[in-house]
Structure 1
Amino acid sequence: MFRHTKQLQFEAKPERPDPVYAHKLQELIGGAFGEMTVTMQYLFQGWNCRIEGKYKDLIMDTATEEIGHVEMLATMVARLLEGAPATMTAEAVKDPVMAAVIGGMDPQQAIVAGGGALPADSNGYPWNGKFIVASGNLLADFRANAAAEAQGRLQTARLYNMTDDPGVKEMLKFNLARDTVHQKQWLRAIEELEADGLETDIAPSALFDEENQEHNNTIWHLSDGPDGNKGGWSTGEDRIEYLMDPKPLGGPGTAPKPDPALYGTYSPTQDAVGTVKGKAQSVKSKLT
């Protein structure tokens, strides 16, 4: 059960309307690393969690907080758009220079949302459930969570430097702080999983005996950059071996003959290079 409290987690009041910035702020709502993504990511992780107790409670606490972050941002977008879609824009576009700037606003915020936020990113691309990670493995999920919060904080920091509105900056300062603590909590939860004996460094902690032992501790040097083997990962007692001249282990990646009903372009002479050569040699021997 969820219950909505009619108060924002933190205030969301801009000093003045700014429809162009409202367009930019959409990224923090419906972008790949926006608040809608972490909201749904944590909700599904929590619902899928098979361990009652501290881990599930942490996930659900954070998921519910993220719903509030979507609300804060949606409220901020609506207030940044207040008076902008009609009157403010109509006056502004009389100046050609300002018209070019206003061209950066999202018309769908006015046309579709009636002067409000959209479940979309800053390009108007709709939010997609494929953005989320909820695998059921807490180690894999918590690592994804830390990465998501890192990307979200990075984008928030960039947007912080794109406005001089004191009200917007105050809200973003709060969001930055929450992204900071969420990164810390997921990283510490990863350590806790190991301390509790639930997971190890590698996810999942299974099939180590079955995996190919020859290839589970090597890095293949496959770029022109020469310095990959100078990192700490390839030195010391637990080093990963750096193969400086790796060789391919498989044959040509030739696709098989297509189903005739699919009408894929195909030449019988491409069945096997050796067969074609063999036929050529046979013809040559008959001529001589």
Structure 2
Amino acid sequence: MGKKAFFTNMITSLLIATSLIFTAGPASGAKLANSDANLSKVVLNVSNMSCSGCVSTIKGALAGHAGIRDIFVDISSGKTEIYYDREKLKDLTEIEKAITDSGYPARITKILTPEDLRKEQDMAESKAEHYIASVNGYDIPRSEFAMELNAARQRVRKVYGDHTLKTAQGRTLDNRLKAQVASRLIEEAILLQEIKKSGYELNENKLNSELRKFIKNSGKDENEFQQSIKDDGYDYDYFRKRFETRLLVNGYLNEKVLARASTQYEKQRMFASWFKNSKLLAEVVYYDRDLEKIALNSSASGSCCAAR
């Protein structure tokens, strides 16, 4: 496996069809005015969503309800967040019913008061300088995001030229790269927390053995390999850390999650089901609001069904 494939695929090739990237965790909402004393938020788990047509249908179903200020729909995690004026919208079961009646079964999972929202925003603003998001309390360092984004941009420039990302289309592509990187780091954090809860660990000898094999298969000696890693935009210590993470994830999935599967199709189906449940249970909060908007737009892009 080449270095580029190693960095763009989150797990082994048998899982590619589950499409881990191009999605993001649940939204934490746009930046909202602290002066709005009645602004609250309700979070719902919503089933059967698959594309931007689903998002349009859900928003249309809520269009006639007084007090709704904003709606954020995250297709990949199956979650919808609605900001509303609690003085104008008192019965939240109406929202739950409206979404369900539109064809997408919904269930309220969390309600945040105005005070809860202020605390959430204050925390995000205090952490945004050093972290992009949190997954179940684990903060994802901005330094990791910057390293991965820089490498992704470098790959694009090598193929299409140095000025590619400076055009209008290039800026759209750059936003897609940001969404991919953020989503990959968030989903990896979800996987790692599942692994931590299980107690599964990677043997140090296996790590060193697999790393030596990986370097040998590259056709380079260790010094040449380290230089090639730097040329691709990565620090070698960071590469080693990422290699260990990928090896840990692959080992856990193959040994614990997919062990009973006998075909590639079964492995893909089992993983998709297992990871969907993990994502539904994950509490994801973006500290970087601009990145959150980009990730949500990427999640909802494209349509496989007509808006109803």
TM-score bucket of the superposed structures, by smaller chain: under 0.3
More strand as a share of residues? 2
TM-score by length of 1: 0.25
Higher relative contact order (CA 8 A, sep 6+): 2
TM-score scaled by structure 2? Answer: 0.24
Larger radius of gyration: 1
